[in-house]
Structure 1
Amino acid sequence: MEINSSFYRPHRRTTYERWAASVPQTFRFAVKVPRTITHEHRLRAAGEPLDQFLLEVGGLGSKLGPLLVQLPPSLAFEPGVADRFLEDLRRQTEGPIACEPRHQSWFMPEVEGLLDRLRIGRVAADPPPVPGADQPGGWAGLTYYRLHGSPRIYYSSYDDAEIHTLMDRLSLRAARGSVCWCIFDNTAAFAATGNALTAWEG
């Protein structure tokens, strides 16, 4: 499960603790990094809000899965800024991190090397905001798909054949040691639940 509400507003640590207590031991939550960090600070001078966010999500304990860093489409790759933020984030957490850039400048070998070095997986998104964004990248130890619905974003459902093809692809990556996540975000017409069940059933 991906917690998306954390992008819009903070949750108390006790709220995360309650969620953690409500699920089985093997359950994991992915949590989206707040927009104050990614869209308002734009990764600059974000130490204080990042510290607060990590303190809050620490309430999930062993139930914490990937942290999702979704970047605004207007945020171009700046080596100094990106390096500092991602290195700071990696220093503070040993857990999985997924980065979802949406500007073309992030899709180049320099960025791939940075993400791989810091053990950060690049999100594969559908529909892709820029060419290449529909394929996973960065560190191969984490594969993270976010499926928003295509051709109509947030509304369109995926047919069974599309889902089965993707599950086969994820199975191959998992066999190579990658931890795989697949999030259906096509929720506007309630397609996500059915698509997720199809994926779960294989």
Structure 2
Amino acid sequence: MSSDIRIGISGWRYAPWRGDFYPKGLTHKRELAFASRAVNSIEINGSFYALQTPQRYAGWYADVPDDFVFSIKAPRYITHIRRLHAIEEPLANFFASGLFQLKHKLGPILWQFPPSFAFDETLFDEFLQQLPADGAAAKRCARHCDARMATDDYLAIPGEQRLRHAVEIRNDSFLTPIFVEQLRRHKVALVVADTAGKWPYIEDLTADFVYLRLHGDKKLYSSGYSETALQRWCERIDLWRQGRQPDDAHLIKERGGKGRNARDIYCYFDNDVKVRAPYDARRLLEKLGLADTLDAVPGQLQGAA
């Protein structure tokens, strides 16, 4: 079984990208279509700030190639505001909001927690238990949504669709084997987050896929990745996709058990401030031999100094 490797960007609507990564004169409505032909996955982050609509998800589905994959950043209302307390209805609202309009282009769901959120074993396990593993479970969850979310097609969720979840943490209290064991038990991925040393960097493998968020290795959200740094990520991804670990892996829990034959990879660059993310993503795709099938305009992908 071969692994699916997706390399992309976190979001695509950034004013500084216009006239740089995006060709001069490209309309805002065409930016997703352009970006989705330069990388093979994009992390939707508007869903973090507010619930999106079925029409918007359907439009995004139509704008990208058939073999494209989105990941979705789950609402901060659940992780940052409610902080996992009394979340049955907010969870239902999210799964009723239309994300299944992405159909087969729907990839993992990212749950990011703030630096002030400390690990609570019981609370976190209750949260993981509530995450639906497939469309049938998501439909059961969505039935508990607020009346305003109950549109005509809000339960048009294919029961057989598999759902994947990834957790990004930013508090040192999570650096315990108990947390890793929880994630493995629920088959939820632990995000490998490169944050220029600001927050924990962990590489424990806890699911049948690996989710990376590269926020910048020198300066958070703005520094680009050098050729040496990109080569390092290329080598790590090559090991992870085989189910292996680098010898110098940063682990919470010591190695144990057998590795998998293959793991899917989802990697998103979030160093967008100085227009580095799309170029770094493209270079990593090239290093992995995955750029040849993309219909990008070569002259727009040479990168900035």
Q: Above 0.5 in TM-score?
A: yes
Q: Please classify the TM superposition score into its range, dividing by the shorter chain length.
A: over 0.9
What is the CA-CA distance between 1:85 and the residue it aligns to? 1.2
Aligned pair partner of 1:192 in 277, 296, 299: 277
Q: Determine if the alignment matches structure 1 residue 150 to structure 2 residue 197.
A: no
Counterpart residue number, 1:69:
111
Q: Determine if the alignment matches structure 1 residue 126 to structure 2 residue 211.
A: no
What is the CA-CA distance between 1:129 and the residue it aligns to? 3.7
Higher relative contact order (CA 8 A, sep 6+): 2
Per-residue CA distance 1:95-118 (angstroms, 9 max, x = gap): 111100111111211110110011
Please identify the structure whose Cα radius of gyration is greater. Answer: 2
Q: Determine if the alignment matches structure 1 residue 96 to structure 2 residue 164.
A: yes
DSSP-derived class of the 1:90 partner: coil
Q: 1: distance between equivalents of 2:225 and 2:58?
A: 34
Greater mean deviation of Cα atoms: 151-160 or 120-129: 120-129
What is the CA-CA distance between 1:135 and the residue it aligns to? 2.8
Runs (4 or more) in structure 1 with deviation over 4 Å come to none
Greater mean deviation of Cα atoms: 54-63 or 110-119: 54-63
DSSP-derived class of the 2:266 partner: strand
DSSP-derived class of the 1:150 partner: coil
State TM-score, norm by structure 1.
0.93
Q: 1: distance between equivalents of 2:96 and 2:234?
A: 34
Counterpart residue number, 1:181:
266
Q: Determine if the alignment matches structure 1 residue 59 to structure 2 residue 127.
A: no
For the structure 1 residues 188 and 124, does the alpha-carbon distance in structure 2 shift closer, same or farther, using more than 3 Å as the test? same
Unaligned runs of 5+ in 2: 1-41, 139-161, 244-261, 288-305
Aligned pairs for 1:20-39 within 5 A: 20-39=61-80
Q: 2: distance between equivalents of 1:138 and 1:69?
A: 16
Aligned pairs for 1:106-117 within 5 A: 106-117=174-185
DSSP-derived class of the 2:132 partner: helix
Contact 1:115 / 1:138 at 8 angstroms: preserved in 2? no
Per-residue CA distance 1:35-83 (angstroms, 9 max, x = gap): 1000000011111111111122122121110100000111111122111
Q: 1: distance between equivalents of 2:265 and 2:117?
A: 26
Higher strand share: 1
Higher helix share: 1
What is the CA-CA distance between 1:24 and the residue it aligns to? 2.0
- Kindly report the root-mean-square deviation, in angstroms, between the aligned alpha carbons of the 2 structures: 1.4
Amino acid in structure 1 at the alignment position of 2:132: R
Q: Determine if the alignment matches structure 1 residue 141 to structure 2 residue 208.
A: yes
Amino acid in structure 1 at the alignment position of 2:102: L
Q: Determine if the alignment matches structure 1 residue 159 to structure 2 residue 212.
A: no
DSSP-derived class of the 2:131 partner: helix
Q: 1: distance between equivalents of 2:61 and 2:198?
A: 33
What is the CA-CA distance between 1:150 and the residue it aligns to? 2.6
Q: 1: distance between equivalents of 2:173 and 2:132?
A: 22
